[in-house]
Each structure stands twice: as structure tokens, then as C-alpha cells.
Amino acid sequence: MQGESCHRRGRNSNFTTTGDNCISVCISCRSLAVGTKTGYRLFSVTMVEKLDCIHESAETPDVYIVERLFSSSLVVVVSAAMPRRMNVYHFKKGTEICNYSYSNNILAVRLNRQRLVVCLEESIYIHNIKDMKLLKTLLNTPSNPSGLCALSINHSNSYLAYPGSATIGEIVVYDANNLSTVTMIPAHDSPLAALTFNASGTKLASASERGTVIRVFSIPEGLRLFEFRRGMKRYVSISSLSFSPDGQFLCASSNTETVHIFKLEQLGPSGEDEAATWTAYMGKMFSAASSYLPAQVSGMMSQDRAFATVHLLASGQRNVCTLAMIQKLPRLLVASADGQLFIYNVDPQDGGECMLAHTHRLFGVDEGRGEGAECDGSEVTRPPHTFPSYAATVALPATGPVTATLTGYSEDGGAKKGEIIPEHEFAAGPVCLDDENEFPPVSIQKTK
């Protein structure tokens, strides 16, 4: 596909074009979903040296959106061949759950245990993920050609964030559970470029098209908590923002060769900084002086620099980053548009320059080598067998009744691979997506 026929999007998902490839990379904790010209692949990263391929499909070409719901069997796919249609699959059964067609091209899909959100350029559709029923349509939203939006992975705080203006960096925070607007945040002077929630849905980070300042706000209040300066000398295009699972760190990647990691340091009960660092000390000094310094100067000086950094081998290439705990240690994962996954070690105490631990090939060179191909010494395991098509499995009989324990999922980013989860964890109502009785195929529907 040529660049003009592909549809760009932001957040912790990356979409770009490389020659004739449509490439989509989504990283969620330790789960990777990769869409290319030949189909899509789902990976799980539980070890630094090993990359597990959970599933791969070549039935749908030119995939530019692929989103997996944590470690469940539900995956959402959009192809450049039919950019207005969203297909929802139960990939472990090899069946299609449903598909929806929309009035315009789909630019982004977000999902958690309660909601599935589809973003078009000037409208947003909110579905109930249990039965895929359309609950709400937000029409005439400000022009959003990149499909920028973020949905909290915490189903209890299902907050949705999207641009409130096409000319300045306003953020609309919407409650996707109660279907009501919560607040409007005046985040930046220029249009938004990136948005992301922390795991609990209590903080929202944003960056503008200038890419020099990253801000963090409290949710649902919308109060500014932190302000980080990524750089002062040049404007950059920030391609992704991502909080660490514990919410203590925030990473940002752009079209430059540097990935930044910022530390969210709160004031302790005594008013003293928890970490007596030079940055914290200078921050207090500038804060005390802000009453008599010009607002622009004091604002610039009070912005903390990066706690840790990574210098990539190449610049100008779109990538997406995330922070995760792998083998009980903090790691930074960076997936690039040319199909490589870089895993870096992060020092949570001293920060500084992060060291490269391993490199994996997600697609590209390996695709011409056949099954079991390896690149750069990385180990990639393939799924043990291919799954049948929807047509071949639609007549399969239903399995037995659901027992007291359900084969479910958790917000582990794919690491648990659908292990047994106690039934009481679903007491609040979220659907169990790995159980064979859940999500039988439903009739095809079309939005108005």
C-alpha cells in the first residue's frame, strides 16, 4: 500500500508506512500486536532473550490496526483494503465474533474490559464490549486526522481522552462508563500529538505537536501535576507516551534518536521531596522564585529534565515505546517501524543512560526466511499450529457449562497467556473472553 492509502494514528500504538508495507505496532505492557502487509502477529514478552509468537494470521492483508485485549482471545483488526470496517475475532477459536462498518475510515481502536472505542476523523463510537452493542456516538468532534485518543485500561475508570480543538491543545475527558463528559483540560497552546493514561486511570499525560513539553494531569479533576521538558532547541514529533505499570515513570519517544524517561516525584508529607536530587533541589528554588520571575521564564525553569534516556541507532524513524517489568526488573521496550524490538535495562534508582539488553526482529527480513527464522541472535517461538478459519469452525458445538473458575484474562499485558483466573474477579461484570462459551459469532451490523 502507498502512504496515501494508509491511515495514521498515535498514542501507544504506532502506524507508519515503509515502502509497500502497511505497518502497525501496538505495545501494551508485555504484549505486542504487529500488523503488516501480510497480516498480523501477536507476541508475548516474558523474557528478555525470548519472544513468544502467540498467534499469527495471514488471512487479512494490509493490517494497519490490530489491538488485543490484554491476554484475552479478543483481537480487533482493520485492513487498509477495507478501512471502514472493524473485524473482531476470537483468535484462539479462529472465529469472527462480529464486524462493524462505519461512515468513514477507522483511524484508531481502543478497548478495555468494559468498552471498545472506535475513532474516526470527526466522530467517536463507544461499544459495550460484552455484546458489542453501540452505546454512544460522539458526532462532530473536532477534526482529528491522526485518530488521536486514549482509553484507560482500568475498566472501573473507563475514561476516554480526545482532542477538544483542532487548533489548540485542549483535551476532552469523557466517562465511557457513564457516557458523560467529565472535564475539558487546556493542556497546550498548539494541537495535541500524544495522549496516554496511567494504569489506574488517575493520571493523563499529553504532548503537543511542538513536542518540547510533556504535561501530566490528575483525572478526573484535570489539575496539572507535572511538567517535563523534552527539549528546547527543536520541535519534534512525539509518537508515543507510556506510563510504567506502577505509574512512577513516563517514557516518550519521537522522530529523534533519543527516548526520554521521566520520573514522577511527589512531595512527601513534610513538604520535602522524596528524592533529594539536584533536579528536585533546583525545582524548589525555581518554585520559590516564581512569584517574581516572569511567568514564561519561571514555567520553563521549573520543568524537570529526563531521569533516564536511550539513544537509538537511527533517527527519523517512527517508533513506539513502553515500560514494563520483565523477569522482575524494569525494562524499556522500543518497537521501530522497520520491524525491530529493542529491550533496554532501566536503573530505577539512578537513571542515566539505559543499556541495550537485546534486539528482536518482529517482521521484515524474517518474513522471507520461512518458519522458525531468527535474526540477530534473537529467539522467536512460533505458535504450535495454525487456527482454522471462521467458515471452518462456525459449526463447532459449544463446550460444556462454565465452572467455578474461568479461563480469563487480566491486565497483565499478555504475560499470563490466558491462565485460570478466579470467578470472583469478574464480579463487577466484565466479560470472560477466553472461555469457549463467550462471544459466539453475532450478526453483522452497520453503523449509521
Please check whether residue 229 lies inside any domain of the structure: yes
Task: Give me the CATH number covering residue 27.
Answer: 2.130.10.10
Q: Is residue 177 in some structural domain?
A: yes
Q: Tell me, rounded to whole angstroms, the distance of Cα 342 from its chain centroid.
A: 17
Domain count, the chain: 1
Q: State the pLDDT at residue 365.
A: 54
φ/ψ of 12, rounded to 5, equals -85, 15
Is there a domain that residue 414 lies in?
no
Q: Which three cell numbers stand for residue 182?
A: 467529565
The answer to whether position 129 is within a domain reads: yes
The whole-number average pLDDT for the span 313-335 is 88
Q: pLDDT tens digits for 9-49?
A: 333 444 443 334 445 566 666 788 898 889 999 998 889 99
**Would residue 172 count as lying in a domain?**
yes
Which domain, by its residues, includes 137?
22-361
Pairing outcome for strands 379-381 and 50-57: parallel
Residue in the structure block whose three cell numbers are 469452525: 393
- Over residues 35-45, the pLDDT tens digits come to 888 999 999 88
* Residue pair 238/193 in contact by the 8 Å Cβ criterion: yes
Asked, for residue 8, whether it belongs to a domain, the answer is no
Of these ranges, 28-32, 394-398, 426-430, the one predicted with the greatest mean pLDDT is 28-32
Q: What are the angstrom distances between the C-alpha of 128 and each of 133, 220, 327, 423, 429?
A: 5, 22, 35, 20, 12
Residue 30 and residue 8: Cα distance in Å, rounded?
Answer: 23
**In a domain? residue 401:** no
Q: Is the peptide bond before 220 cis (omega within 30 degrees of 0)?
A: yes
> Is residue 448 in some structural domain?
no
- pTM above 0.95? no
